[in-house]
Structure 1
Amino acid sequence: MQPIFISQDMWDIVQDGYESPQEDDEDSKKRSDKKTKEYKENAKQNASALRIIQQAVSKSIYPRIYGIKKAKEAWDVLREQFQGSEKAISIRRQSLWRQFDNLMMKETDTIKDFHSRVAETVNQI
């Protein structure tokens, strides 16, 4: 989905999110016109990106992101559930490398034996 967001110039909103404008004093109200315009553009891009995310997921996955108002939050929920945390990804990567290293063909293996072992390992992944 990342290429879709990049092509629509929405990836920054999905990856980084955006902040709501906050007006505190009289001086900030003068600058608020520019910030309000920027906020409206960001809110529009956020809504479009969130719509794309919601349309892309299946009916069984949609409840996980139902009610989320920001594309970044929905993206983070899906990434965490389907990719896992950075630590989990690192552990999974190490496990896959170990499995890959163990797939080397031994001199006593026939091609049929090696192929069976490779197919079994791929099915486990």
Structure 2
Amino acid sequence: MTDWKPITEVELWDKIMEAEGRMSPRVFRFWEAVRIVPEKWREAAFGEMDGGFWVVAIIGRKAIWYNDIEDGFNCSSYYVVGTLAEYWCNQDGLEIAVQNLLSTIDTGLDTVPRLGPPVTGPYQSK
């Protein structure tokens, strides 16, 4: 991970604007309702480097944020504003993360598969 560099706010805005162009009208309207000006939030497991992860949307106890270690957007719970309660490493575009959250609201079911953090220990091959 020596080559890793945190995403800048300008680079994040580029990703946001590109994703907005890919959103359906319905998803874009929802996005407009939940989006915030990006701000850095802490996360205990991996979010201490460079001041945390960029949160870009909030609704209820859910936050959409950008994981610049894995290069993708995720939706996590939070209990205290400014601190993500879960680490995920999905590599979704923002439009996918927003659509997934909207689907959860529509159906009442959170069926989005999430990729967890790295597991320590030796690699287990088949």
Give the TM-score of the pair, scaled to structure 2: 0.29
- Structure with the larger strand share: 2
Name the structure, 1 or 2, with higher relative contact order (CA <8 Å, separation 6+): 1
| TM-score, normalisation: structure 1 | 0.29
